[in-house]
Structure 1
Amino acid sequence: MRADFRRALRDTVPVAMGYTPLGAAFGILLVNSGLAWYWAPLSAGLIFAGSMEFLAVGLITAGTPLLQIAVMTLAVNFRHVFYALSFPMHLLRGWGRRVYGAFALTDETYSLMATVPRQEMSANRLTFIQLLSHAYWVSGSAIGALLSFALPASIDGLGFVLTALFVVLAQDCFYKRKDSAPTVMGLAAGFAALGFGERSFLAVALTVYVAMLLGWFALRRKKATGDVT
């Protein structure tokens, strides 16, 4: 078990470098939005969905209906369904480990597990990877929330942290993909949703984007089979 912990600690160094400062930014944003500081580590521990936690701060402070928050949460985190298809759940014995394994499956932990050869992955190493990643996020959020008391009451641009993160990810995806259609469709969906107001923007944009993706894939499939010239 000690050897597995050391391996997991070494594996999660990149996660710590990302989760700690981003979690701190989340904690600062939460407190500056008018919420009590303890909601930062509490939400980090119980929700553990970085992008959705950032979005939730704005949604809650804007008084967004609970049903819309639930729908947006499903849309944002739906990708995890596909992660589960190759998640080594068979390594985890007992319902406690299995439930936590499903709960703590994030983009970063999935990426780490994908780089570890299957023959080297053990139940303890897998669980430690998830526990350590979870601890980094909770610690970063708590540090940011407490640090906010020593910072100015208002920090311009802090609310743009998550948007900036997604812009960088989209830019990286655009450079790495040969086909720019998904990026163009994302921009088109955003412009199409502008007319529906701030509170419904994300839900409408995601709906339009998914519809455009389905149409794009259907068209590509028809072209591949020769039905469309």
Structure 2
Amino acid sequence: MIETVLPVVGPARRGARASIAAAARDTVSVGFALAPIGVAFGLLLVQAGFDWWWAPLFSTLIYAGSLEFLAIGLILAVTPLAQIALTTFLVNFRHVFYALSFPLSTITGFGAKTYAMYALTDEAYALTAPMPRGSLDKTRVLAIQVFCQAYWIIGGTAGALLTTVLPGQIIGLDFALTALFVVLAIDAYRAKRDIPTPIIALVSALLALAISHEHMLIIGMGLFVAGLVARYLLTRRASGAPTPGTGA
């Protein structure tokens, strides 16, 4: 699968293989989380009444963990397409902010760039964001995304097939995705040791929850971005650096 997305020929083959190996090491810890969560998704999907093959289909065409979990209920409730589209926009709107600092500039070629945008998930962003830009090349970034999607598809398919041998319903699987986000946040903090950022995120989430439970995600992301911008401006002012756009 990686060779299909990342064609390597000539003398660059050795460097590409090194980048793929590095990406495998980068994603192994996330794989240990993604695969079990994929299993949870596959179990929930089949327990909701879908055939097992819907799991790899969802994970290939949608490939958005939180939205895939949400899509189960939306489809079962025969939700209108307009409402599904709006829900998709609100749930995945955070990816707009990921794109601001994701190393997309390292990707060349229409097909590769298209896949990189399609496969820009929380996990791929969390893995690449702390890395020095000099250590990332096209092959490594794309391989990280391919590995992450492979873990998810394999886990979801395995979970869907497991339902044929597991008795009864399994409770609590819908919390699996939240648990992964918690782990990613902890890993990001360990990499940067940046205390103000998680505090701003927590305050933004609590304020968003108080404002509107139904639209918590979009409000929280907006407040978080506003908080980061305010922190950036205050830091520059405290350091004596000119504020962008002021000419000072």
Q: Which amino acid aligns with 2:165?
A: A
Name the counterpart of 1:62: 77
Kindly indicate whether residue 146 of structure 2 is the aligned counterpart of residue 142 of structure 1. no
Q: In structure 1, what is the Cα distance between the partners aligned to 2:181 and 2:106?
A: 36
Question: What TM-score do the two structures reach when normalised by structure 2?
Answer: 0.71
Kindly indicate whether residue 206 of structure 2 is the aligned counterpart of residue 184 of structure 1. yes
Question: What TM-score do the two structures reach when normalised by structure 1?
Answer: 0.77
Q: Which secondary structure state, in structure 2, belongs to the residue aligned with residue 12 of structure 1?
A: helix
Aligned residues: 205
Q: In structure 1, what is the Cα distance between the partners aligned to 2:149 and 2:157?
A: 12
Name the counterpart of 1:124: 139
Deviation string, structure 1 residues 16-51 (Cα, Å, up to 9, x no partner): 011100000000000000111111111111111001
RMSD: 3.1
Q: Which amino acid aligns with 1:188?
A: A
Name the counterpart of 1:71: 86
Q: In structure 1, what is the Cα distance between the partners aligned to 2:26 and 2:181?
A: 27
Q: Pick from 107, 113, 126 the counterpart of residue 98 of structure 1.
A: 113
Q: 1:163-182 alignment to 2 at 5 Å?
A: 165=179, 176-177=198-199, 181-182=203-204
Name the counterpart of 1:6: 21
* Identity among equivalent pairs (%): 45
Q: Which runs of 5+ in 2 are unaligned?
A: 1-15, 190-195, 235-248
Name the counterpart of 1:112: 127
CA contact (8 A) 1:19 1:136 kept: yes
CA contact (8 A) 1:185 1:212 kept: no
How far does residue 188 in structure 1 lie from its aligned partner after superposition? Answer: 2.1
Closer, same or farther in 2 for the Cα pair 1:177/1:140, shift >3 Å?
same
Deviation string, structure 1 residues 155-204 (Cα, Å, up to 9, x no partner): 23334545x549958x989x941685423323324xx55xxxxxxxx4x5
Name the counterpart of 2:7: none
Kindly indicate whether residue 41 of structure 2 is the aligned counterpart of residue 19 of structure 1. no
Q: Which amino acid aligns with 1:98?
A: K
Q: Which amino acid aligns with 1:31?
A: V
Q: Which amino acid aligns with 2:110?
A: W
Closer, same or farther in 2 for the Cα pair 1:93/1:108, shift >3 Å?
same
Which deviates more, 63-72 or 23-32? 63-72
Q: Which runs of 5+ in 1 are unaligned?
A: 194-201, 225-229
Q: Which amino acid aligns with 1:105?
A: L
Q: In structure 1, what is the Cα distance between the partners aligned to 2:182 and 2:27?
A: 22
CA contact (8 A) 1:182 1:213 kept: yes
